[in-house]
Chains A and B, each alone.
Chain A
């Protein structure tokens, strides 16, 4: 990439800036969530989603992940609920 690398005679240090950028994006998404909403909004959402799904399906509470990504124009709420296999009929009945 750089001229220096051709003549340096030692392997170039890996680029660390992309790591810095990614760490900041994740951290700030979280901190902006805390700042712009009630501190426990995500916790609250997670609990209510867990309760709603648990009324119909037995699931592992650790497998319910609620994440907020704050962007410049649009923010997204990501809900990831992992269900054990073999529960599809129960779900169908419940709905």
Chain B
């Protein structure tokens, strides 16, 4: 029975799709059967970041509406046989997504995968609500920047009230993933520090992804950063975060570019 994770943030441009691709690939690299689902109807991009844009035939809305069956719409990754993509529709109206339909599709996928990663659109509208609706856990992607932290706080409130789990009186397990972090700037007091953000959001940390050129390089060529440059700092950080997600204890480090690992502090993961 799969675990359903939503990758969400409220704010746009913080790295949800990059994170979905990187963690999805890293889970598959760890032998898990993974489906990544793009909920950004009208602005789909997960296919592009995964290099599968020319292979999209059917999409989530086709499956929700019964036009296509799930196995027809799922695109299996060419590099990782354990990784499948369910793309969003680029042309359809986003109102075509219904809660009942999304619930049915996710329910069908639960039997076939270990992890289902739902890549949420930005904002707090219908698409974002549906992406988190059936989640067991949430990865809240946050940048060390005031507007991103504020939006994360808002999303945390929604995860605690608007999800199926919350309505049953249970908790969606929440994890902060700090992305685009620059340890040098934080040390100079130019950027919110890790402790500041965790204290404000009162939510456990899953990982710290350093700002890096390798992230753009990977998306340029349509390959998750964990596959494209596995030795790079962001790839190692995503790989560590993924291990924490599947229950391994990995020290919380900020991988740095040239000189290997810089130990920050011994905080344990959620």
Q: Which residues of A contact B (CB under 8 A)?
A: 1-2, 4, 12-18, 20-21, 23-25, 27-28, 31-32, 35-36, 72
Contacts and interface: CB of A to CB of B under 8 A. Distances in A.
5 contacts: A17-B189, A20-B146, A20-B196, A24-B149, A35-B157
Contacts of B149: 24
A4 B190 CA distance: 13
Interface residues of B, number: 19
Interface of B is mostly: helix
Nearest to B157: A35
A91 B163 CA distance: 51
Nearest to B185: A17
B188 A72 contact: no
Contact of A16 (B153, B157, B190): B190
Nearest to A15: B189
Interface of B: 145-146, 149-150, 153-154, 157, 184, 186-193, 196, 200, 202
A72 B146 CA distance: 19
Interface of A is mostly: helix
Contacts of A21: 192, 196, 200
Nearest to A18: B189
A32 B189 contact: no
B202 A17 contact: no
A61 to B, nearest CB: 31
Contacts of A12: 188
A24 B200 contact: yes
B43 to A, nearest CB: 27
A1 B193 CA distance: 15
B149 to A, nearest CB: 6
Contacts of B153: 28, 31-32
